[in-house]
Structure 1
């Protein structure tokens, strides 16, 4: 009886420790719309200059920014991130019109280049991040539409979900689209 109680207590303690926030999670918890959807990956909303120090404390080594230059309101995010010693890539996704196979392929390449380095992927709210993740899960990972959309939601997909579903349906029917601008 005592052994069973001791074993149960040990299991409860181990489970609690596994669920505890890591120092990186704590350092990044103040980012807008933050999510920790996968190992070595963080999703968030728009960064401010004051967030750059948190990225360093949180161990982020790469930033993939899906926002456009117009959204940055005078803040040179790329320069600030690079000055902090963090890699920076920008793939501007304006909205539903930029949810193309070509941009998903570019996005996949950026994620593969990041490898296992802790990487923050962001846009203004996380919605475009989730959309691109969902489309990537289907296009690159071969996931069915429902699983791909669920994965996108974990990363921040919200209002672009109807556009994502429309793309997935069209792509499954063999429709092609054109893709736009290269990442820089």
Structure 2
């Protein structure tokens, strides 16, 4: 039976969950649901009272932080870094930001820049990962 906590997250690819913010209270349930690695796209300044890296590691999961503050950080370097983190993750992985929007934006750009998807297909892939408000920024980058 799937954890109700996982219902908050999309499942855009085998072994991947994507979505919004997590808290220390979520970590035992994430671990029990099989998540083995967390990729956090939020800058530390977004959650000053929560040492996510320390808490995730203390809960027995791997952790990486790729801070994406907003549209200005949606570049090829960030896309390549996310791709490398996803490929290196050992086991089921949660990729999150505050809402899932930045996750989806990077996923859309990854689909286009690294996997050759056209703009519409890339945006659709991004939506599966959580893309919403950053769609215009993604389309602008894809048109360059």
What TM-score range do you get, normalising by the shorter chain? over 0.9
Aligned to 1:125: 99
Quick one: which of 155, 158, 165 aligns to 2:139?
165
Q: Secondary structure in 2 aligned to 1:93?
A: coil
Larger Rg: 1
Q: Secondary structure in 2 aligned to 1:92?
A: coil
Aligned to 2:46: 71
Aligned to 1:179: none
Query: Unmatched 5+ residue regions in structure 2?
Result: none
User: What is the number of equivalent residue pairs in this alignment?
Assistant: 144
Aligned to 2:109: 135
CA distance in 2, matches of 1:105, 1:87: 19
| TM-score, scaled to structure 1 | 0.75
1:43 equivalent to 2:23? Answer no
| TM-score, scaled to structure 2 | 0.95
CA distance in 2, matches of 1:75, 1:143: 37
1:27 Cα deviation (Å)?
4.7
RMSD over aligned CA atoms reads 1.2
Query: Unmatched 5+ residue regions in structure 1?
Result: 1-22, 171-184
Going from structure 1 to structure 2, the CA distance change for 1:148 and 1:69 (only over 3 Å counts) comes to same
1:26 Cα deviation (Å)?
3.7
Q: Secondary structure in 2 aligned to 1:79?
A: helix
CA distance in 1, matches of 2:42, 2:102: 9
Q: Secondary structure in 2 aligned to 1:103?
A: helix
Quick one: which of 107, 110, 129 aligns to 2:85?
110
Q: Secondary structure in 2 aligned to 1:59?
A: coil
**CA deviation map 1:57-108 (0-9, x unaligned):** 1100110000011111310011010001100000000010000011111111
Per chain length, whose mean CA-contact separation is higher, i.e. which structure has more relative contact order (CA < 8 Å, sep 6+)? 2
1:24 Cα deviation (Å)?
3.8
Residues 24, 57 of structure 1: 8 Å contact kept: no
CA distance in 2, matches of 1:63, 1:45: 12
